Every structure is written in structure tokens, then in C-alpha cells.
């Protein structure tokens, strides 16, 4: 029995972040019910539903989600009310509401989740017993639910956006270092295609973490622009570090792919495996050391020393490869030299000296992680300007 209770408690203690988020979501929905019911006649249910649909894991995403929810629902419900006025509540009103809300959600690029939430909320607004006052009450309840979700999303995490960015960078960096360490041990012991395939699969999973990391780094950057509690310089530095980790992870995957391809080469010789294993081990150590410095107060000189040592390990591997060039098949020699290139790119990412981190514009939040792709305010402003210019040109005629 004691073992069962220990296991049961561990289910929650090992998932503190998830538990915190669902508790906050539950309290937020209950609060939305109370506020909606007290401010608007029978407005609690709609407010609670919209709150549950809008709340996200961060303040930044909840604001964008809530804004998109309100704008999309208001437009969709407005059209639905016109449809109900002309055709009464029925199949035409339902079909028109879902169709128009889907178009609006697509136009605002709300993403997969919000594209479903907007039609659902609009249907709630125009539900049975609809009238002008009822629709107005439900729209106001929608606004209350979204507002409560935005407020409570601040408490979804015990850490700041910058702190969460550091945690993401550390998590991905440590996993990368562990993978390269496994690769080093495997190469030293003599690896096969199955092992190399396992490394490549893990490296691909690491690359799939990039959109989440970039989204979190962008959140920290945007949060610092308006919050006096966050430093802009720190957020900008974290964003660059996030881009550097992204470049590093891509090189880790390329390393795993290079080792996998080498198992397919029948002419491959293992005379340089020891040197490659040492170089991979040095790469793993450098990444681990950099992550430890990011998690603590560090100096630039320490990071420079880490990158310098990794470049030295890459140069030593190059000399070993050149010394063995006559013994190695050309295809194997080229693959080994590519490992040297990947090590140096990782070194440039560690000390953030590569021009690719600064000179090349980094895309914003990945489409897969976006909550709302376009600003409704900017979009509405542009549309109003076009309408005004069109009317002015028409009047001049």
C-alpha cells in the first residue's frame, strides 16, 4: 500500500508544471463564471467556456489568443445575427456562422486551436433563445471570459518568460550533449548501423524541439518590451542564445547523419575512430560547460575558452585525418572532414561569434507554434485606410 501511495503521489510531484497549469485553468474558469454571473444576467456559463478555450500556458499567448477570440467571435456573431434575423435560428444560420467564422479565423491566421474555438464561441452566442439583448449579453460574457483567462495566465508558471527560455535552452543543450556523448562512446567501441540509426532518430527529435524554443525565446523578447519587470537586453541575449542552440542542434543531427551514412560505406576503415570519438567527447563536454554557464552567472571569457578548446580539438582531428589521408577511402575522408566543419560551427554557436546569428534575419515565431498570425488592430487599420481612400477617390470623381 505504501508503494502505491508513493507511486500515486509521484504522478503529480513529477508533473508540477502540468498540475499548476490545470489548477490555474480550473480556478480561472470558476472565477469567470462568478464574474460573468454577477455582471451580466446568466453570463457565467459563456464566460467560463470562453475562459477555458482562451487560457494558454503563458500571458503572451493568452493575450493573443483572447484578442483573436474576441475579434473573430464578434465578427462571426454579427454575421450570425443577421442570418438569424433573415432566416431564423436553423440550419442556414448554423452553416453560415461556421463558414464565416472559419474564413475569419483563416484570415487572421489564428492557428488550428483558435480556428475551432471561434466558430464554437460564435454558436454559443447565437444559441437558442437568441435576441438582440441576449446576443449582447453573450458577447460581453465572451469579453469577460477572455479577460479572466489573460489575467490568470500570468500565474500558469512559477517562472518568468526569460527563466522559461533559459530552461528550454538548458534542456535541449543537455540532451544534445548526452546524445553526442553516446555517439562518442559508440564510435570508440565500434558502432553498427542500428546504433547509428538510433542516434539519428534522437537527433531528429531534438530538431523538432526548435519551434518550441524559438516561440519561448520570442515570448521573452516580446514580454520585455512592455513589462518593467523584465530586462530588454537580457531578453535579446536569450533570443540570440536560442538561435545559437538551434544552429547547434542542426549540426548535431548532421553529425548523426554522417555517422549513419558511414555504416553504409563498405570501404570504411576504423583507423580514425579513436580520434573521432575523442573529438565528439570534446564537443559534448563543451556544450555541457556552456549550458552550465548559461544557468549561472558567467563571464564572456569563460565561454570564449570553451569555444577555443573545441576549435583546438577540431584542428587536432584535422591533423590526424590528414596524416591518415592515404589510408582512408576518399568518401570516408570527406565525411570525417565534414565532422570537423560541424564541430567548428558548434564552437561558433557556443561563443556566439558566427555572423549567421546576427547578420541573417531570424524568422519570428514558427507557424506551427503561432496562436494568431496577424494583428487584428493592424489589419483593421489597413482595411479602414483602404476603404477611406476608395471613398475619397470615388467622391472626387
Within its chain, how far is the Cα of 344 from the centroid?
27
Instruction: Tell me if 160 sits within 8 A of 222, measured CB to CB.
Output: no
CA distance 24 to 223: 20
CA distance 371 to 85: 32
Instruction: Tell me if 101 sits within 8 A of 52, measured CB to CB.
Output: no
Taking CA 32 as the corner, what is the angle to CA 27 and CA 36, rounded to the nearest 5 degrees?
Answer: 155
Q: 10 Å Cβ neighbour count for 332? A: 21
Residue pointed to by grid coordinates 513589462 = 227
The alpha carbon torsion through 173, 178, 184, 187 (nearest 10 deg) reads -120
CA distance 301 to 306: 9
CA distance 345 to 129: 64
Q: Please list the pLDDT of the chain residue by residue as tens digits (397 residues).
A: 677 777 767 766 666 767 777 888 888 888 888 888 888 877 788 788 878 777 765 555 656 655 665 666 666 666 666 776 776 667 777 777 777 777 777 776 666 655 666 777 677 766 665 555 566 777 778 778 878 887 777 777 667 777 888 888 999 999 999 999 999 999 998 888 999 999 999 999 999 988 888 888 887 887 777 666 667 777 888 888 888 999 999 999 999 999 999 888 888 888 888 999 999 999 999 999 998 888 876 656 677 788 889 999 999 999 988 988 888 888 889 999 999 999 999 999 988 888 888 777 766 655 444 444 444 445 555 545 665 566 566 556 5
Instruction: Tell me if 104 sits within 8 A of 117, measured CB to CB.
Output: no
Q: Which helix (H) or strand (E) holds 109?
A: none
Of the candidates 95, 227, 90, the residue with the CA atom closest to the CA atom of residue 160: 227
Of the candidates 297, 223, 309, 36, the residue with the CA atom closest to the CA atom of residue 148: 36
CA distance 153 to 25: 8
Instruction: Tell me if 124 sits within 8 A of 130, measured CB to CB.
Output: no
CA distance 79 to 118: 13
Handedness of CA 208, 213, 215, 218 (dihedral sign): negative
Instruction: Tell me if 147 sits within 8 A of 66, measured CB to CB.
Output: yes
Instruction: Tell me if 69 sits within 8 A of 54, measured CB to CB.
Output: yes
Amino acid at each position: 500500500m505504501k508503494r502505491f501511495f508513493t507511486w500515486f503521489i509521484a504522478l503529480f510531484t513529477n508533473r508540477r508544471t502540468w498540475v499548476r497549469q490545470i489548477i490555474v485553468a480550473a480556478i480561472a474558469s470558476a472565477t469567470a463564471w462568478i464574474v460573468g454571473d454577477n455582471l451580466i444576467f446568466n453570463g457565467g456559463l459563456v464566460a467560463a467556456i470562453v475562459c477555458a478555450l482562451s487560457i494558454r500556458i503563458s500571458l503572451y499567448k493568452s493575450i493573443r489568443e483572447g484578442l483573436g477570440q474576441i475579434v473573430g467571435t464578434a465578427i462571426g456573431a454579427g454575421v450570425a445575427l443577421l442570418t438569424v434575423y433573415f432566416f431564423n435560428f436553423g440550419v442556414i444560420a448554423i452553416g453560415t456562422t461556421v463558414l464565416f467564422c472559419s474564413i475569419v479565423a483563416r484570415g487572421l491566421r489564428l492557428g488550428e486551436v483558435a480556428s475551432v474555438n471561434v466558430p464554437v464561441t460564435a454558436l454559443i452566442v447565437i444559441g437558442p433563445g437568441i435576441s438582440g439583448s441576449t446576443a449582447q449579453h453573450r458577447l460581453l460574457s465572451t469579453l469577460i471570459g477572455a479577460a479572466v483567462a489573460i489575467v490568470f495566465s500570468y500565474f500558469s508558471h512559477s517562472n518568468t518568460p526569460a527563466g522559461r527560455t533559459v530552461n528550454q535552452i538548458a534542456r535541449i543543450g543537455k540532451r544534445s550533449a548526452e546524445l553526442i556523448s553516446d555517439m562518442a562512446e559508440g564510435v570508440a567501441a565500434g558502432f553498427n548501423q542500428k546504433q547509428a540509426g538510433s542516434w539519428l532518430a534522437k537527433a531528429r527529435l531534438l530538431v523538432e524541439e526548435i519551434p518550441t524554443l524559438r516561440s519561448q525565446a520570442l515570448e521573452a523578447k516580446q514580454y520585455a518590451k512592455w513589462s518593467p519587470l523584465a530586462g530588454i537586453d537580457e531578453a535579446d541575449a536569450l533570443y540570440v542564445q536560442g538561435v545559437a542552440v538551434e544552429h547547434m542542434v542542426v549540426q548535431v543531427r548532421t553529425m548523426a547523419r554522417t555517422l549513419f551514412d558511414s555504416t553504409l560505406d563498405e570501404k570504411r576503415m576504423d583507423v580514425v575512430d579513436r580520434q573521432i570519438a575523442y573529438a565528439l567527447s570534446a564537443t559534448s563536454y563543451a556544450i555541457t560547460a556552456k549550458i552550465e554557464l548559461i544557468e549561472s552567472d558567467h563571464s564572456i571569457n569563460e565561454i570564449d575558452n570553451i569555444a577555443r578548446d573545441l576549435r583546438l580539438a577540431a584542428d587536432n582531428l584535422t591533423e590526424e585525418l590528414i596524416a591518415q589521408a592515404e589510408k582512408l577511402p576518399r568518401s570516408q575522408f570527406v565525411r570525417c572532414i565534414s565532422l570537423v566543419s560541424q564541430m567548428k560551427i558548434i564552437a561558433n554557436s557556443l561563443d556566439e561569434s558566427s555572423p549567421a546569428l546576427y547578420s541573417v534575419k531570424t524568422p519570428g515565431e514558427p507557424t506551427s507554434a503561432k496562436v494568431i498570425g496577424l494583428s487584428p488592430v493592424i489589419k483593421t487599420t489597413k482595411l479602414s485606410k483602404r476603404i477611406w481612400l476608395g471613398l475619397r477617390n470615388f467622391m472626387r470623381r
